[in-house]
Amino acid sequence: MSDQGSSNGRPGAGKEDKRFDTKLIHFGGEVDSATGASSVPIYQASTFHHHDIYEPPQYDYSRSGNPTRQALEDYIAVLEGGHRGFAFSSGMAAISTTFMLFSAGDHIIVTEDVYGGTYRLLTGILNRMGIEATFVDMTSIDEIKAALRPNTKAVYIETPSNPTLKITDIAEVAGWAREQELLSILDNTFMTPYYQRPIEQGVDIVLHSATKFLGGHSDVLAGLAVTATESLGRRLKYMQNGLGTVLGAQDSWLLMRGMKTLGARMAYSESSANKLAHWLSERSDIYSVFYPGLASHPGREVHEKQSSGYGAVVSFDVGSGERAKRVLNAVKLPLVAVSLGAVESILSYPAMMSHASMPREVRHERGITDGLLRFSVGLEDIDDLIADLQQALEQE
Ligand SMILES: *Cc1c(COP(=O)(O)O)cnc(C)c1O
């Protein structure tokens, strides 16, 4: 098993100092070193021939290492500014493999509005294995500090959170975690490294559902992780190889293809999302709008300190469950679906989709009301999207 991360293309060395949009295209694996081909070949092979039994090949078996997956793993490490990247079969595979760094008896402090699948993993699976979690409001450092126990091993952050886009101060929480000798882990799915690079702010492990903005086309399920240090990289490599939660070569290639346009897609969708959020906030029939780019958004200043943009997800409350369902059935452009971060806009209904399994009272406490809709803004013309939403809001 090759334990050291290494690119199969032109070495990324010398490109680290380039600006982000340049790194998206020139990440090290953009040209095949053997042939000069303009994209990384798909190495559709499970095993690799030993030309000389005394000199094992760099790659020996695709669970342990595959050149196409390696190019993707190096790519995300460059983008996040971390030491080593990892690609998994889904976002949940990245998250669950990372949690396998912990042992029975360990305790983790987790943001209370964590992604539903992560909540299920912690409360339905890892709890049976003796890994405990306390869920806290991470907008408050005092609540985080109050949850500390002698057996606490990590803090798990999501910012902005889903679907009400609450903001956690990354540097403050990661700094405190370091003082307490805890690992800090951050799910960066909503912002992507285009807008937010948590390792630069002291976070130890960054996670992604690459199914969302990184892939960007609603056609591949994948997860990514980046570790800040070599020693953490070695520990996570052991987990990835031991658990076998790897991403296949075809999907690794497809994900890299999507990632090359991340910057162009994020910038376009964000400018549209900004327009949509302001349009919604001026309507008297919308009860609340959640978007970090709005002046009224709680935590906006913290967000601006740690992120270079506001993203492409806008949540808003239309007042009632009946009205939300009328809107969902009347829109003609967005996909009505779970998921987000794609070229096509996606309208989700958290109360009946992502948060359906949460008791109604808990849901309401977290601001996930029956009238709340989540709009992931895609690449359509924003004036068409707004006109479509307007006709849907005006349905009786
Ligand atoms: C979708 C999502 C996940 C899970 O990713 P999958 O690719 O669906 O397994 C984790 N975190 C966040 C924030 C997500 O949106």
What CATH number has the domain bearing residue 372? 3.90.1150.10
Look-up of token digits 């889903």: 162
Cα of 333 vs centre of ligand 1, distance in Å, is: 23
Is 0.75 surpassed by the pTM of this model? yes
pLDDT (0 to 100) of residue 21: 96
| pLDDT tens readout for residues 332-378 | 999 999 999 999 999 999 999 988 877 888 888 888 999 999 999 99
Give the pLDDT of residue 79: 98
Mutation to probe ligand 1, out of 110, 212, 354 (largest number of atoms < 8 A from CB)? 212
Give me ligand 1 centre to Cα 13, in Å.
Answer: 31
Last residue of a domain, one of 237, 259, 281: 259
> Which residue's CA is the closest to the ligand 1 atom numbered 1?
209
**Whether residue 308 is found in the same domain as residue 247:** no
Q: Which residues are known catalytic residues?
A: 63, 115, 187, 212
Same domain assignment for residues 192 and 288: no
Which is the closest atom of ligand 1 to the Cα of 221?
A: 7
Is 359 among the domain residues?
Answer: yes
Atom in ligand 1 nearest the alpha carbon of residue 211: 7
- Residue 360 has a pLDDT of 86
**51-98: per-residue pLDDT in tens?**
999 999 999 999 999 999 999 999 999 999 999 999 999 999 999 999
| Stretch 117-144: mean pLDDT | 96
209 CA from centroid of ligand 1 (Å): 4
Q: Ligand 1: which residue has its CA nearest to atom 4?
A: 91
Residue 8 falls within a domain, yes or no?
Answer: no
pLDDT for residue 1 is more than 60: no
Burial label for 113, CB within 10 Å (0-12, 13-18, 19+), is: buried
Please give the distance, rounded to the nearest whole angstrom, from the Cα atom of residue 264 to the centre of ligand 1. Answer: 22
* Separation CA 111–CA 109 (nearest Å): 7
In a domain, 15, yes or no: no
Tokens of 268: 């376009």
Distance, CA 354 to ligand 1 centroid (Å)? Answer: 10
User: CA separation (Å) from 240 to 46, 80, 131, 189, 332?
Assistant: 16, 19, 19, 20, 42
**Alpha carbon nearest to ligand 1 atom 6, residue:** 91
Of 239, 259, 279, at which residue does a domain stop? 259
Q: 282 and 333 share a domain?
A: yes
Same domain, residue pair 295 and 360: yes
Say which residues have a Cβ less than 8 Å from residue 316's Cβ, sequence separation at least 6. 280, 286, 287, 288, 289, 290, 372, 373, 375
- Give residue 318's domain range: 262-393
Shared-domain flag, residues 241 and 286: no
Ligand 1 — pocket residues by CB below 6 A? Answer: 90-92, 115, 117, 158, 162, 187, 189, 209, 211-212, 221, 223
Report if residue 5 sits inside a domain.
no
Where does a domain end: 240, 259, 278?
A: 259
The count of structural domains within the chain is: 2
Note the pLDDT of residue 359: 80
196 shares a domain with 209: yes
Name the residue of 89, 92, 138 whose CB sits within 8 Å of the most ligand 1 atoms, as the mutation to test its pocket: 92
Q: What is the pLDDT of residues 58-68, one digit of tens each?
A: 999 999 999 99
Would you call 150 exposed, middle or buried from its count of C-beta atoms within 10 A (0-12, 13-18, 19+)? exposed
Same-domain pairing of 341 and 362: yes
Query: Hey, which of 118, 120, 121, 209 would you mutate to test ligand 1's pocket, going by the most ligand atoms within 8 Å of its Cβ?
Result: 209
Please indicate, yes or no, if residue 142 is contained in any of the structural domains: yes
Tens of pLDDT, residue by residue over 2-30, are 344 444 444 444 456 789 999 999 998 88
Cα 92 to middle of ligand 1, angstroms = 6
